[in-house]
Each structure stands twice: as C-alpha cells, then as structure tokens.
Amino acid sequence: MHKIEIAQDVVERISARRGRLHPFDRIDGPRTALVVIDLQNAFLLPGMPAAVKGATDIVPNVNRLAGAVRDAGGTVVWVKMTLDGERERWSVFFDHFGSAAYSAAEQRSLSRGHPGHELHAALDVRPADLVVEKTRFSAFLQGSSDLDRILRATGIDTVIIVGTVTNTCCESSARDAMMLNYKVVFVSDANAAHTDDEHNGTLTNILRIFGDVRSTEETVALLARAAAPAPKTTAEA
C-alpha cells in the first residue's frame, strides 16, 4: 500500500482558495457510481508485461467500496482496458512509448480471450454490476467507451475512481470526468501506481483542481450517510 503524502503547502493553498480542503461534504448514493479502472490480470498478476507490483493490495478496499456503493443505492462499474485492433488506430502510443516486443505483449495481454484481459478473481463482481470496455487510458474520452452515455442515462452525477494505474488510466479518467461535469472522488488507498511519488503526484493534482481525495474509510463514511434514511420530522414521528 502506498505511503500517502500531499505537501502541506499544497493543502494550505487549496484550502485558502476554496475555503475548505474537501469540495464535497455529501454525496447522493443513487446518483453515485464506483468506477473501477483496469483491475485486470494484465495489471495484477506477476509476470504480465504491464503488472503493477503491489496492486493486489488495494483489492480489499475496492471490494469494501463496492459493497458500500451498492448499499447506498449506487452503481458499480468494472472498466476493462481492451486493445483488440487498436494497433493502427493508436499507432503513436504503440510505436513510440514502448519497444516493439513490449507493445505487442501488452496489446496481446489486453485483448479479449487472453487471461490478462479478465478481471482479477479476488474482485467482488456481482451480476447487477456493469462491465464496460475502454480503448484508451481515459474511460470518459470521446470514443474510448460508452461509460459517459451509460452513467448519464441512469442519472449518475458523482464518480468514485479506484483502480490502476493511478497516474495513467485512473488520473486520465478522473480529469475527463470532472470536465464532463461529474463530481469526482479519488480514493487514495484504493488506487495503485508503480511508486509512491507517482501516486502522490496524482493525488496532489486531483485534489488541487479535478476532484476530492479521500481514503477508503472516509469514502465509506460518506456513502453510509448517503444510505441512511432521513431523520423523521416531529410531524412524522
């Protein structure tokens, strides 16, 4: 699990600008989706070309959040990176950001039918959950997936982002979600990167301008308040 550190001067600057550190005090359970980014074998199993060491450590927190979102009446979405047929359409990435051997292996492991494409077995995936494929880092990028259309059709206005890699697909999805007018909660101990520095860099960026950063414990508490029935008035008692 990452050692979470956001510089105090950044925290003070954020608090001064908005009058408080956290932008969202409450969330509406039925209008909230847990968006789980790329917790596939390709990123979690040792020996896979894109494996992130320690990423399996976040699985219990992700499962706990999934249960809390369901209890609050929200939606759980499992997003899968899918690279079938993307070699030519995304040639800049495949040609320039990895060796030919690495790029081919990564694409193969994230293609339908390969074990790497499957969600990790320890995840608590339920029949009522949604599974959405994406073809780019951001699940909200135009043409990458149908996630935005699906969430808007069900009235979702808040997304809780968890998964891997923190500073690639998770951060890209969070940034685009905010700019599509979703409230974003980015969970500090339910995202995984290769290093603490990379992880904390993203947390700093998200909290500064793109969303809220909360721990699993804090996010579950927000969801519990959303799930709790409203107190009865004197007239109703």
CB-based contacts of 9: which residues, under 8 Å, 6+ apart?
none
pLDDT at 170: 98
Q: Across-strand partners of 160?
A: 34, 185
Using DSSP's 3-state secondary structure scheme, residue 178 falls into: helix
Give the span between the Cα atoms of 64 and 60, in whole angstroms.
6
pLDDT at 89: 86
Between vectors from CA 116 to CA 105 and to CA 74, what angle results, nearest 5°? 135
Q: Where are the domains of the chain?
A: 8-81+120-227
Contact between 210 and 19 under an 8 Å Cβ cutoff? The reply is no
pLDDT at 237: 47
pLDDT at 90: 83
Contact between 158 and 28 under an 8 Å Cβ cutoff? The reply is yes
Contact between 131 and 80 under an 8 Å Cβ cutoff? The reply is yes
Give the span between the Cα atoms of 79 and 69, in whole angstroms.
16
> For strand 158-164 and strand 183-192, is the pairing parallel, antiparallel, or unpaired?
parallel
pLDDT per residue as tens, the chain (237 positions): 899 999 999 999 999 999 999 999 999 999 999 999 999 999 999 999 999 999 999 999 999 999 999 999 999 999 999 999 888 888 898 899 889 998 999 989 999 999 999 999 999 999 999 999 999 999 999 999 999 999 999 999 999 999 999 999 999 999 999 999 999 999 999 999 999 999 999 999 999 999 999 999 999 999 998 776 655 555 554
Give the span between the Cα atoms of 136 and 138, in whole angstroms.
6
pLDDT at 231: 57
Find the helix packing angle between 216-227 and 59-71, rounded to 10°.
10
CATH number of the domain at 8-81+120-227, out of 3.40.605.10, 3.40.50.850, 3.30.70.640, 3.30.450.20?
3.40.50.850
> Two tokens at 9?
């001067």
> Two tokens at 38?
């790329």
Residue 214: how many other CB atoms lie within 10 Å: 21
Taking alpha carbons only, the member of 191, 78, 192, 83 closest to residue 131 is 78
Taking alpha carbons only, the member of 206, 213, 159 closest to residue 181 is 159
